[in-house]
Amino acid sequence: MPGSRVARRRRYLVCEPRHFAVRYAINPWMHPDRPVDVSLARRQWRTLVDAYRDHGHTVETVKPEPGLPDMVFAANAAVVVEGRVLGSLFMAPERRPESVPYEAWFKAEGYEVHHPGSVCEGEGDLVPAGRWILAGTGFRTTPEAHREAQEFFGVPVIGLTLVDPYFYHLDTALFVLDEENVAYYPEAFSPGSREVLARLYPDAVIATREDATAFGLNSVSDGRHVFVPPGATALSAQLADRGYVPVPVDLSEFHKAGGGIKCCTQEIRS
């Protein structure tokens, strides 16, 4: 109902795209022969950080490291639940070194970090959603990592199978609106996983493929404000009808690497 949504202050971890580039291809969006405008990417990223701070959220930064062009995608580095940090073990060898500076940051902040034994790509595929964690598999994070996350956090983990390579991480096909609801693109999931989502979230916001390919499901919600790409117009209209406040943020330069708003945002849940 309009006006009834309540924002909750969040703490986010981000990484400046100082070394952002597309040097290899590990998803269908990536084309190394397509140039990246790093200056534009840095301006867009700064707009996202400013939007978070303008809405009362705390933003922390980890120092970017040369030679790690995807380090800007902070969400993939870990998942944090009630102060417990599960790090990442990336599928692609090119990204595996990213886990080192992120784990060092968390340790310097006083957190204990559990490094996974199975391929696990942080909030890319492990999405805390109130009473449980929604967990994607099919392209990156393995089912073994789902079991590892459940044992580590002591929170029920619900596995969901992704079937469309353009939506290779769960956070490209679904995002959490608040403690009770989500938005998602059904065709990104296997038939059984679609049934699971329909049972868990009968009132979910259902996105079109146009919204999804505009990275509309790679959005971030604080419970009221939804930081969403401007190209996801139908999704934004649905959100507004449900009483959420869309906050358009253009991160289109990052689409060239298969990322967007959520990919650039790690939430620290203490």
**Active centre residues (catalytic):** 169, 263
Query: CA–CA distance from 257 to each of 23, 28, 93, 170, 172 (Å)?
Result: 9, 9, 16, 16, 12
Q: Which of left, alpha, beta for 154 (phi over 0: left; psi -120 to 50: alpha)?
A: left
The C-alpha atoms of residue 151 and residue 66 are separated, in whole angstroms, by 34
Q: Which residues pair with 133 in a beta bridge?
A: 128, 157
The helix (H) or strand (E) run that includes residue 183 is strand 182-184
Distance, CA of 221 to CA of 191 (rounded, Å): 27
d(CA 149, CA 128): 11
Residue 190 has a CB neighbour count (10 Å cut-off) of 14
